[in-house]
Amino acid sequence: MKKYLLVSLTILFAAAFVWAADDAATADQNIAIEADAAVSWGIDFGPGGIRHGFNNEASWKVKFPIYKKADRTSTRGNVPVYGEVVLEGAELSLLSERKESNEKNDKVPFTVDGKVKGLKAKLVFYDVYLSAFSKPNFSANYAEIWKPIDNDDDYEPKDYRYKPAFDGFGTKLGYANKDLLGLDVGLKFGSDGNWKSEDGKKVIDYSTAPTQTNILTETKIAADEIWVNIVTGKTYSKDDTVPPGTYLQYKTKAGDPAQHSKYAIGFDLSIKPLDKMLELALTVNSTLNKGYSKGNVNFGAEVKSAPVDGLELKAGFDGGYAFATTTKDFDWDTVFTAQYKWVGAGVYVGSAGTVIGGYDADTKTRGRVDMAVFAKFETKADKDDATNLVEGLDAGVYVGMYQLLAKLNATPKEFPFFAKVWGAYTININDSMSIKPFANVWLETPHAQKVGLAYDVGVTYSPAEKVEVTAKWSQGKIKENKHEVKIIEKSATGGEHYGAFVLSLTLTY
């Protein structure tokens, strides 16, 4: 780590010297260096016997921006009629990154890291615009469940999302005027494919049993067959020449037909009639022709309000009806959340065809209308944060229930209750030294036991800036990034987990 820090500081000094001549460049080229290392000793009391030993972990991120992330817009004069092209989130940098790990190999080379998030292009005629790229958004996604209380960067909102949608090439004709109540309204026109569309390639017909064939000489494949080598799994199709070997000989069927000459339409509206007091958004989208890929009609609406400082209210609804299915079900979800400084609450409800409703995407099995609720009280240590009550105090209480109706109607009946209580208080001894005791408790029903329990308690001592010594006792294990009835993986009760003690030293750069 010392060697690494020395190299990093050398590079940083050299870069600062090179860029010092150009103040503008220096401001733009922000070298980002983050690193930490930890050594820990821990003991886990089982079940399964006592296990103990040392663990080394380290992580770093060194980023040299070449082209700082930003939206880049084509230049234009101060004229009311113009064409505009926007590259969204364009960035380029050199990056060496290692996430927290105890691997022995510390060598992570620099790589070129860059991307363009997307491109948008439109023709503007005063306040009227016509999009040329990207494709119109024919989806509704205003209702989305909140994040789990224990989450990190690995949380995937799409795992719990109901988002009725279909794709299509096309354009949007709209009118936008920030001075007119922030109005943005537009019509979207799309098509499923175009004149360039082609039929899909022939595929294996699994309705017909294959024939096992053993060939001794090279053989050319017929137009209506696909051969699969039973050893390598390699596939051969029309006009391919296969080497000697043993193959499964399949018949084929036509691939997906070319999608073309089918159209869709949509409508978007967003407006702020009372500025932050009231914001409205609406979308309606529908395919117009039979045979449109994933053809459906979907719509969504959102209402947001911030009537007083610190209070945020939000309500959203999404609904969709698929034309091609035999069940002809209308699916929907809706959410309402309220947050006022320290206190927050929310309700999320979804139909039988949503994740909250128990829909199984693999088997297409529908569930039932179901709901989730939460309530939270939280205060953060930062005195500049809106939730701060006491400087240095991080504390809160969270209560949640997921798939409430399904569990209450199950046999036997269950009550899906989950709660977390946490607290940490930083005591500053002097300008560079501090001590922070902390505790977290998780509680849930149902569980293998009547009540599932997990907790950890400990203290973090910082003798100097960027140095932390932490002693922690924990019993029970939880799952992060999950909306589930059972969040506690192993409970402190019932002999599921006897506890673990970890003592660690962490150094941060």
Segment 111-156, tens digit of pLDDT:
888 888 888 899 999 999 999 988 999 999 999 999 999 998 889 9
In a domain, 232, yes or no: yes
Q: What is the rounded average pLDDT of the residues 205-215?
A: 89
Handedness of CA 177, 183, 187, 193 (dihedral sign): positive
Looking at residue 22, what is its pLDDT? Answer: 39
Distance set, CA 387 to CA 174, 220, 309, 343, 390 (Å): 40, 72, 12, 9, 9
Looking at residue 110, what is its pLDDT? Answer: 85
Instruction: Quote the mean pLDDT of the chain.
Output: 88
Cα–Cα dist 231/243, whole Å: 12
- In percent, the amount of the chain with pLDDT more than 70 equals 93
Looking at residue 30, what is its pLDDT? Answer: 74
Query: Per mean pLDDT, which range of 98-102, 172-176, 433-437 is the poorest?
Result: 98-102
Distance set, CA 42 to CA 151, 203, 470 (Å): 24, 55, 11
Cα–Cα dist 50/499, whole Å: 10
Looking at residue 9, what is its pLDDT? Answer: 34
Position 287 pLDDT exceeds 90: yes
Cα–Cα dist 186/167, whole Å: 17
Looking at residue 253, what is its pLDDT? Answer: 87
Q: What is the rounded average pLDDT of the residues 6-31?
A: 41
pLDDT band at 105 (very low <50, low <70, confident <90, very high): low
Q: Are 474 and 440 in contact (CB under 8 A)?
A: no
Q: What is the pLDDT of residues 467-502, one digit of tens each?
A: 999 999 999 999 999 998 889 999 999 889 999 999
In a domain, 477, yes or no: no
In a domain, 22, yes or no: no
Position 106 pLDDT exceeds 80: no
Looking at residue 161, what is its pLDDT? Answer: 95
Looking at residue 65, what is its pLDDT? Answer: 86
- What single-letter amino acid sits at 440? N
Looking at residue 134, what is its pLDDT? Answer: 85
Q: What is the rounded average pLDDT of the residues 377-385?
A: 90
Q: What is the rounded average pLDDT of the residues 275-300?
A: 95
Looking at residue 349, what is its pLDDT? Answer: 98
Q: Are 70 and 87 in contact (CB under 8 A)?
A: no
Query: Per mean pLDDT, which range of 9-13, 104-108, 230-234, 504-508 is the poorest?
Result: 9-13
Looking at residue 246, what is its pLDDT? Answer: 93
Q: Residue 252: in which H helix or E strand, if any?
A: strand 245-253
In a domain, 235, yes or no: yes
Looking at residue 170, what is its pLDDT? Answer: 96
Looking at residue 27, what is its pLDDT? Answer: 37
In a domain, 241, yes or no: yes
Q: What is the rounded average pLDDT of the residues 100-118?
A: 75
Position 385 pLDDT exceeds 50: yes
Per the structure, how many domains does the chain have? Answer: 1
Q: What is the rounded average pLDDT of the residues 26-47?
A: 81
Looking at residue 102, what is its pLDDT? Answer: 60
Looking at residue 168, what is its pLDDT? Answer: 93
In a domain, 271, yes or no: no
Cα–Cα dist 7/14, whole Å: 11
Q: What is the rounded average pLDDT of the residues 185-211?
A: 90
Q: What is the pLDDT of residues 37-89, one digit of tens each?
A: 999 999 999 888 899 999 988 888 888 888 788 888 887 778 889 898 998 88
Q: What is the rounded average pLDDT of the residues 406-429?
A: 94
In a domain, 35, yes or no: no
Closest listed residue to residue 281, CA positions, set 296, 269, 264, 273: 269
Residue predicted with more confidence, 1 or 338: 338
Q: What is the pLDDT of residues 212-234, one digit of tens each?
A: 999 999 999 988 899 999 999 89
Q: Which domain holds residue 236?
A: 203-253
Q: What is the rounded average pLDDT of the residues 283-312?
A: 95
pLDDT band at 257 (very low <50, low <70, confident <90, very high): confident
In a domain, 178, yes or no: no
pLDDT band at 341 (very low <50, low <70, confident <90, very high): very high
pLDDT band at 428 (very low <50, low <70, confident <90, very high): very high
Q: Are 369 and 405 in contact (CB under 8 A)?
A: yes
Looking at residue 328, what is its pLDDT? Answer: 80
Position 2 pLDDT exceeds 50: no
